């Protein structure tokens, strides 16, 4: 069944020049780009996206990082897109991410995680609304 998911290449990966290589991995996996946008995340979008983390000790740093520079926001479509993307991205902490995954190959530290991806079809639709209206 075709499914949509939300993916964001974060400021660290954009600044280090990994956008093309990361996008290629999604294409190679058979996913299609429904929407693709280079831009910045506003503090309001960051707050809406990370609402479940408000009040946690790392929240302010998370918002500061995601708004610190340009990102690439996208909606990907394909069979099982959420699970396919989660597998391509690897474990959240780059130290735990397997080689061959995006985080395993490009991530340096957890606080500057190189990519975000929706963790369920429901969160994908919510996040698509936050970033694409």
Instruction: Tell me which residues are annotated as active site.
Output: 116
Nearest to 127 by CA among 64, 75, 67, 78: 75
Q: Coil, helix or strand for 5? A: strand
Give yes or no for a contact between 43 and 67, defined as CB atoms under 8 angstroms apart. Answer: yes
């Amino acid at each position: 069944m075709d499914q949509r998911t939300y993916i964001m290449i974060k400021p660290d990966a954009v600044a280090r020049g990994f956008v093309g290589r990361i996008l290629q991995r999604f294409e190679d996996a058979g996913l299609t780009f429904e929407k693709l946008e280079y831009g910045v995340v506003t503090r309001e979008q960051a707050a809406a996206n990370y609402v479940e983390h408000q009040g946690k000790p790392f929240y302010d740093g998370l918002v500061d990082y995601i708004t610190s520079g340009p990102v690439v926001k996208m909606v990907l479509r394909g069979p099982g897109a959420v699970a396919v993307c989660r597998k391509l991205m690897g474990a959240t902490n780059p130290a735990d991410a397997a080689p061959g995954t995006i985080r395993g190959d490009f991530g340096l530290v957890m606080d500057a995680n190189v990519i975000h991806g929706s963790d369920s079809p429901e969160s994908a639709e919510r996040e698509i609304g936050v970033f694409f209206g």
